């Protein structure tokens, strides 16, 4: 008998033989991964034509659990591998699962160039403001003043806004939600999957073991309640300290790279 909760989405979208997962108790990566599975379901993703590609980090373990064709690549290179895959097989739907340390540091240039090309990929970036897997080091998204294992007196660097960066670099769709705002997160990921072009969905998640414990948030529930207050869905509302916008942040139509490339190649070949 299984010792973990089951249900339609779990049974139909997860490799149940790999569960329970290895994420720490209270980590909200499980919520985000379930939201992704629900979004794939809502978007009618064909399992035979959908590939999930991840990098390295706690969030990237998700490809081990989801019952799709999956590729677990190296640190920071998920978008590069996904780009090659999409160019070789334009018929596939490719979803990239990544963390903020993965995409916002070693993989930043891949993010910028995937956005600049407007390549038809969906990036779901789990953002928990730390490097959880390696011990809670400061990440590119760590807030100023936060305590991390590499900044015991407070983080000095300003955080990178991955949504603003993606929009500025040319992504067609940019959105953000948190693990607390589950229904919104499902809706945004599904829209990103259906969007033609490069779609980025930032999924604000939590690392209670490092980011929480080191910064006075003693329980996973406290971190989720904090997300509820931090995420602001009214685009006209002023942002207070520590708050950020959630919802659809950017949605435009723009020429998509793979389609354009193959059209040009066919033209040159006279087909």
Among 13, 29, 86, 195, interactor with ligand SF4 by CB under 6 A? 29
Q: Which of 8, 6, 26, 27 shows the shortest CA–CA distance to 17?
A: 6
Query: Residues 22, 61: contact at Cβ < 8 Å?
Result: yes
Shortest distance in whole angstroms from residue 130 CB to ligand SF4: 7
Q: Which of 59, 216, 214, 209 shows the shortest CA–CA distance to 149?
A: 214
Shortest distance in whole angstroms from residue 189 CB to ligand SF4: 19
Sign of CA dihedral 167, 138, 58, 13: negative
Based on the shown chain and the rule CB under 6 A, indicate whether residue 207 belongs to the binding site for ligand SF4. Answer: yes
Based on the shown chain and the rule CB under 6 A, indicate whether residue 203 belongs to the binding site for ligand SF4. Answer: no
The interface with ligand SF4 within residues 40-99 (CB under 6 A) comprises 58
Q: Which of 244, 246, 54, 247 shows the shortest CA–CA distance to 159?
A: 244
Among residues 192 and 208, whose Cβ is nearest to ligand SF4?
208
Rounded to whole angstroms, how far apart are CA atoms 253 and 196?
8
Among residues 14 and 210, whose Cβ is nearest to ligand SF4?
210
The interface with ligand SF4 within residues 122-181 (CB under 6 A) comprises 128, 132-133
Among residues 101 and 107, whose Cβ is nearest to ligand SF4?
101
Based on the shown chain and the rule CB under 6 A, indicate whether residue 223 belongs to the binding site for ligand SF4. Answer: no
Burial of 74 (0-12, 13-18, 19+ CB in 10 A): middle
Based on the shown chain and the rule CB under 6 A, indicate whether residue 112 belongs to the binding site for ligand SF4. Answer: no
Q: What DSSP letter does each residue of 231-247 carry, written as one string?
A: EE--TTSPP-TT-EE-E
> Where do contacts with ligand SF4 occur on this chain (CB under 6 A)?
23-24, 27, 29, 58, 128, 132-133, 207-210
């Amino acid at each position: 008998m299984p010792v973990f909760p089951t249900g339609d989405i779990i049974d139909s979208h997860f490799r149940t033989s790999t569960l329970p997962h290895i994420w720490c108790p209270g980590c909200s990566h499980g919520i985000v991964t379930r939201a992704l599975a629900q979004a794939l379901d809502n978007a009618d993703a064909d399992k035979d034509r959908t590939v999930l590609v991840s990098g390295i980090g706690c969030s990237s373990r998700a490809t081990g659990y989801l019952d799709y064709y999956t590729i677990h690549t190296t640190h920071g290179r998920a978008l590069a591998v996904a780009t090659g895959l999409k160019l070789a097989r334009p018929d596939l739907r490719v979803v990239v699962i990544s963390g903020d340390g993965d995409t916002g540091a070693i993989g930043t240039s891949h993010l910028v160039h995937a956005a600049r090309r407007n390549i038809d990929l969906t990036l779901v970036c789990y953002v928990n403001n730390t490097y959880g897997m390696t011990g809670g080091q400061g990440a590119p998204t760590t807030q100023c003043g936060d305590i991390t294992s590499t900044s015991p007196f407070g983080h000095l660097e300003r955080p990178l806004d991955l949504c603003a960066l993606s929009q500025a670099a040319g992504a067609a769709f940019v959105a953000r939600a948190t693990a607390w705002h589950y229904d919104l997160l499902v809706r945004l990921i599904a829209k990103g999957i259906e969007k033609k072009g490069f779609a980025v969905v930032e999924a604000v998640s939590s690392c209670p073991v490092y980011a929480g414990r080191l910064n006075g948030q003693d329980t996973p529930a406290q971190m989720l309640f904090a997300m509820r207050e931090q995420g602001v869905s009214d685009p006209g509302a002023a942002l207070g300290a520590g708050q950020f916008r959630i919802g659809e942040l950017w949605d435009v139509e723009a020429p998509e790279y793979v389609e354009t490339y193959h059209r040009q190649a066919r033209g040159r070949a006279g087909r």
